[in-house]
Amino acid sequence: MNVTRLGALAIWLSLICHDAAAEEPLTFSANTVGAPLSNARAELFVPRGTGPFPAMVLLHGCNGVGPHYRVWASRLAEWGYLTLLVDSFRPRGVTTVCNHGMTIPPQLQAQDAFNAAEYLRSRPDVRAERIGVIGFSHGGWAVLKAVLAGLVRPPQTHPFLAAVAFYPGCEASPSALETDTLILIGEADDWTPMERCTRWRDVVQPNGHRVLLKSYSRALHGFDAPAMPHYFAGHYVGRDPEAAADALVETRMFLDAHLGAGR
């Protein structure tokens, strides 16, 4: 076999290996979890005090881990929630999936979230029975996969105790809900339209749980982000100060009611 054929074979094998790795959920340990700004597989944000703390898994949007999600992780830690910001893209050699969401399917990001929760349960500074999940855009889409029975959650793991989805992708499913869920979305969102989330809410089987959906009349996709309205990836996105402020209040009230930071 000549050098050219050997080179082509090596490339082909590497692509196969990469694709296989990309289809496997990420796992987490002390060796793969780092401090804030470490660019580790997951970054850990720890509240002040000794704990143990209730905990949150945070899932980023289609553009990967960036300042916006670190601000949110820091905010959750300030509220008393030990927070694990999971990077579902960089370990798979991906930087963005905007407008190509199935490059890293939401089901796979949701599986990452369950494995992240299992890591959190292994930590002595975490209240293992009080773990929630929050996601934004693509990550919110993953959250809505994670809260449905029989879809993503491995049978040996526990459901999340609470879930928050900011402007998620919503695909109507008649599955049974196994986590109380809060959806926050703008009525002017042209990327993940509110009507799809209304249908999602209306067709899931409550199964003893609740879906709370709060919409904001003028808010766009990414209404809590720092950048003011602008075009990104073919969509009009950006901050709505009133919606952002209210969403903070709603999120904290919801989490405190379910996970009880400070109790």
What integer pLDDT is reported at residue 23 of this predicted model? Answer: 82
94-123: average pLDDT = 97
Q: Could you tell me what percent of the chain has a pLDDT over 70?
A: 91
What count of other Cβ atoms lies within 10 Å of the Cβ of residue 55?
31
What CATH number does the domain containing 49 carry?
3.40.50.1820
State how many domains the chain has: 1
What integer pLDDT is reported at residue 6 of this predicted model? Answer: 42
Structure tokens at 126: 């975490």
Helices 106-121 & 138-146, crossing angle to 10 degrees?
A: 70
Give the pairing type, strands 162-166 and 211-216.
unpaired
What integer pLDDT is reported at residue 79 of this predicted model? Answer: 97
Structure tokens at 40: 């580790």
CB 255 within 8 A of CB 182: no
pLDDT in tens, 13-31: 333 334 444 589 999 999 9
Q: Output the average pLDDT for the chain.
A: 92
173-187: average pLDDT = 97
pLDDT in tens, 33-89: 999 999 999 999 999 999 999 999 999 999 999 999 999 999 999 999 999 999 999
What integer pLDDT is reported at residue 8 of this predicted model? Answer: 39
| Least confident piece of the model among 15-19, 97-101, 122-126, 239-243 | 15-19
Single-letter amino acid code for the residue at 164: V
Single-letter amino acid code for the residue at 211: V
Burial letters for 184-216: b for 16+ Cβ neighbours within 10 Å, e otherwise?
bbbebbebbbbebbbebbeebeeeebebebebb
Cα angle vertex 86, ends 215, 214, to 5°? 10
More confident residue, 155 or 72: 72
Closest listed residue to residue 120, CA positions, set 70, 56, 177: 56
199-216: average pLDDT = 97
Radius of gyration, alpha carbons of the chain: 19
Residue 197 to residue 33: CA distance in whole angstroms: 33
| Least confident piece of the model among 49-53, 110-114, 177-181, 246-250 | 49-53
140-158: average pLDDT = 96
What stretch of H or E contains 123? none
Residue 248 to residue 244: CA distance in whole angstroms: 6
pLDDT at position 215 over 50? yes
Tell me the residue range of the domain where 44 lies.
3-259
What integer pLDDT is reported at residue 17 of this predicted model? Answer: 37
pLDDT at position 225 over 60? yes
What integer pLDDT is reported at residue 22 of this predicted model? Answer: 59
pLDDT band at 262 (very low <50, low <70, confident <90, very high): low
